[in-house]
């Protein structure tokens, strides 16, 4: 068996691609697909200052490596250290080394410097007060808060995240099961329902690439990346949905694209429907739908 486009040995089989692609053709296909997504969704304007959210993991490292090569935009990176022992230590070491090598400015922000405690400690403080928050819920809320805050204060035009097709298919599916369409309305390649000055627009250039593709790209490019899962991961529902979609994809080629494309087909209607609610400003400066943002709510409960 040879590559679909040349005589080399294939390294991956893609949807609608009978024979698969070799290493060189796959890397070209991947780069082209990211650039096409950026162009089709008008993710960046000329001279945009882009803050790339990195973790040291495969998706965000791949994203940063592609974005840093785009002319006409200025790229810096941000990593939020949740202080999850060896896991974050190794990841942060990797991304610090990468940014140093490629001369990219990295904003290394620690939860302890910002809020006084590590993620595990915040979780245990809340537990002592009888509040059983999941690690990923706290981590996600605090991360989103810090990223938007730094992006706004440092005057970035866009925030880019490494979400891939699997992430988006899972999120949409979870929101369908939980009847949570208002949350889905904020998803898509360019996130958010409406433009708000205090919320820096978030874009997802890896939107149409599957997780197995970003993983292979990262390995073929030999990025120094730690592939283990986070030990604090509490996303059992997401994991179940992910496994279910993987099984579906194995049996019915193209299922994940099907889910995401169906979602995109109704996204405009959903945005229209859910854009009517008022956006308020929390006392900390963050946009929110209630009087207090989720971060201030957590910090308030801790004290």
Binding site for ligand SF4 (CB under 6 A): 82, 135-136, 139-140, 230, 232-233
Nearer to Zn ion, 27 or 296 (CB): 296
Question: Contact between 296 and Zn ion (CB under 5 A)?
Answer: yes
- Residue 211 phi, psi dihedral angles, 5° rounding: -60, -40
How far is CA 123 from each of CA 178, 254, 300, rounded to the nearest angstrom? 24, 39, 13
**Nearest-approach distance from CB 233 to ligand SF4, in angstroms:** 4
Give a three-class secondary structure readout of 87-149.
Answer: HHHHHHHHHHHHHHHHCCCEEEEEHHHHHCCCHHHHHHHHHHCCCCCCHHHHHHHHHHHHHHH
As beta bridge partners, residue 172 has none
Nearer to Zn ion, 95 or 139 (CB): 139
Question: Contact between 282 and Zn ion (CB under 5 A)?
Answer: yes
Question: Contact between 203 and Zn ion (CB under 5 A)?
Answer: no
Nearer to ligand SF4, 139 or 216 (CB): 139
Beta strands 202-203 and 158-160 are: parallel
Nearer to ligand SF4, 236 or 275 (CB): 236
Scanning the chain, the segments in alpha helix (DSSP H) are 23-40, 58-67, 85-102, 111-115, 119-128, 135-153, 165-177, 181-184, 211-220, 236-251, 255-274, 294-302
Nearer to ligand SF4, 54 or 139 (CB): 139
**Nearest-approach distance from CB 68 to Zn ion, in angstroms:** 32
Question: Contact between 286 and Zn ion (CB under 5 A)?
Answer: yes
**Nearest-approach distance from CB 57 to ligand SF4, in angstroms:** 9
Contacting residue, 22, 54, 187, 293, with Zn ion by CB under 5 A: 293
**Nearest-approach distance from CB 135 to ligand SF4, in angstroms:** 4
Beta strands 49-54 and 158-160 are: parallel
Residue numbers at the binding site for Zn ion (CB under 5 A): 282, 284, 286, 293, 296
């Amino acid at each position: 068996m040879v590559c679909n486009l040349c005589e080399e040995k294939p390294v991956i089989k893609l949807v609608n691609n009978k024979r698969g692609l070799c290493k060189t053709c796959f890397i070209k296909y991947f780069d082209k697909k990211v650039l096409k997504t950026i162009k089709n969704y008008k993710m960046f304007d000329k001279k945009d200052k882009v803050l790339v959210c990195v973790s040291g993991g495969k998706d965000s490292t791949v994203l940063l490596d592609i974005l840093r090569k785009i002319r006409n935009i200025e790229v810096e990176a941000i990593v939020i250290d949740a202080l999850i022992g060896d896991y974050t230590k190794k990841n942060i070491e990797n991304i610090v080394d990468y940014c140093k090598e490629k001369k990219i400015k990295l904003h290394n922000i620690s939860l302890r410097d910002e809020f006084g405690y590590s993620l595990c400690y915040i979780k245990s403080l809340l537990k002592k007060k009888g509040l059983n928050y999941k690690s990923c819920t706290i981590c996600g809320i605090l991360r989103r808060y810090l990223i938007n805050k730094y992006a706004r204060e440092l005057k970035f035009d866009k925030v880019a995240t490494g979400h891939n097709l699997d992430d988006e298919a899972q999120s949409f599916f979870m929101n369908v099961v939980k009847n949570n369409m208002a949350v889905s309305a904020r998803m898509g390649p360019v996130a958010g329902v409406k433009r708000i000055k205090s919320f820096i627009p978030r874009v997802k250039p890896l939107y149409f690439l599957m997780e197995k593709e970003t993983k292979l790209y990262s390995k073929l490019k030999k990025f120094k990346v730690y592939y283990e899962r986070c030990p604090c991961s509490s996303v059992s529902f997401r994991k179940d949905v992910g496994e279910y979609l993987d099984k579906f994809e194995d049996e019915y080629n193209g299922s994940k694209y099907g889910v995401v494309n169906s979602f995109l087909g109704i996204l405009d209607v959903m945005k229209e429907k859910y854009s009517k609610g008022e956006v308020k400003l929390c006392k900390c400066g963050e946009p929110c739908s209630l009087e207090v943002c989720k971060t201030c709510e957590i910090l308030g409960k801790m004290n």
